[in-house]
Structure 1
Amino acid sequence: MTVFWIIAGLVFVALAPVISLRPSLRQRRIVALRTRARELGFRVEVNPPGVARPEHGDLLAYRLHYPKASAGPEIRWTRETQTCEMEKGMDADDQQAVHALIESLPEDALALTSGTATLTLWWQERLGLPEFDQLAEGMDALRHQLAGKRRRNIRE
């Protein structure tokens, strides 16, 4: 009987590292979320957004690219300041669409930016797949609405 317990203990010690390497439920949820984001056309990156970093967890950039010939307008919203800076001369419909998306952002979203190439959401990935699909649909609709609406400053 003692030999059995020794063998069982050795097997447990040998398998412990393998068991601890298995991804947690949170890690599997995040992998599924990032895979779904890539399927929907997002590029997921870890880049500092220029806003305050969260105390716990990572802050990732989910980017949707504007079509090459259609640059987007400059937009910057941060949860920290609760202000949205937009390019001057934006249509009222476009401004309303931006504010509607901001209202629908999850609590862990820290910034939403738009530039010539991308519409980017900075957040901590705490949504489930169904909620993310709704968010992605809203971001994609806004991207299509804003594509090609970049205003050029003429100061020469």
Structure 2
Amino acid sequence: MSTWLIVVLIFAAVLSPIAWIVPSRRQRYQMHLRKIALHAGIRVRIETFELLGTKNSAIAYRVMREADDKGPVHRFRLGHCARLDKEEIQYRGDEFVSGWVWLEAPSPALDDGQEASLKTLLKVLPEDTLIFEAGTAALTLWWRENGTPEQVEALAVQLAELNV
């Protein structure tokens, strides 16, 4: 009887590290979303962003801007109040749209058409979006990947159509 117990314990000791390597259901779903994003032209990376001196980790979905675009490049950052701690972003009532505040105001300023386009995008972004950022080279969405494949596919189209 003790021989069988020893064999079972050895077998369990050998198999337990293998169980740690197998991705969880959540990790497999994230890999699926990332594949969809990559096929849609979105670069996906796990990165840290800085918010008032603290570093936070999130998934960055990034669409590169066209280099031959002749218009002015706007730079800004918007934070989603529901996902970020309101005290952390020093909520001052400067909401752009409901639930979204400027972390870094646009430079140069957006015209009315660009503001309308941005407002439309912010209303349809996934609920777990943390920050939306526009830089000189890319548009970046920082989020927790709790969306659906349909949202990721739509996101690629929406970011490509955004004219900021």
C-alpha deviation, 1:17, in angstroms: 1.6
Q: What residue number does 2:125 align with? A: 105
Structure 2: gaps (5+ residues): 82-90, 92-99
Of Structure 1 and Structure 2, the greater helix share is in 1
**Normalised by the size of structure 1, how large is the TM-score?**
0.75
Q: Select the structure that is richer in strand.
A: 2
RMSD (Å) for aligned C-alpha atoms = 2.5
The yes-or-no answer on 1:138 pairing with 2:153 is no
- Displacement of 1:101 after TM fit? 0.8
Name the amino acid aligned to 2:139.
L
Q: Which secondary structure does the structure 2 equivalent of 1:50 belong to? A: strand
In the alignment, does 2:81 pair up with 1:63? no
1:37 aligns with 2:37: yes
2:141 is paired with a residue of what secondary structure? strand
Amino acid across the alignment from 2:68: A
- SS of 2:139 mapped into structure 1: strand
Q: Tell me, which stretches of 5 or more residues in structure 1 are unaligned?
A: 147-156
For residue 74 of structure 2, what is the aligned residue in structure 1? 73
The aligned residue for residue 85 of structure 2 is none
Per the TM alignment, residue 64 of structure 1 is displaced from its structure 2 partner at its CA by 0.6
- Are 1:29 and 1:128, in contact at CA under 8 Å, matched by a contact in 2? no
Deviations 1:32-55 (A, max 9, x none): 222222221122233333326698
May I ask how many residue pairs the two structures share in their alignment? 142
Q: Is residue 72–residue 118 contact of structure 1 (8 Å, CA) maintained in 2?
A: no
Match of 1:20 in 2: 20
Letter aligned with residue 24 of structure 1: S
What is the percentage of aligned positions where both structures have the same residue?
A: 27
Shift in Å, 1:88: 4.4
TM-score (norm 2): 0.72
Comparing 45-54 with 130-139, greater Cα deviation is found at: 45-54
Q: 1:50 to 1:7 in 2, by over 3 A?
A: closer
In structure 2, give the amino acid aligned to 1:106.
Answer: P
Deviation at 1:114, TM superposition (A): 0.9
Q: Is the 2:75–2:135 contact (alpha carbons within 8 Å) kept by the matching residues of 1?
A: yes
Displacement of 1:117 = 0.9
Q: For residue 77 of structure 2, what is the amino acid of its counterpart?
A: R
1:84-126 residue CA offsets vs partner (Å, 9 max, x unmatched): 4334453322210101111112222111111221111111111
Query: 1:6-60, CA deviations, whole angstroms, 9 ceiling, x for partnerless residues?
Result: 43443233222212221101111111222222221122233333326698xx412
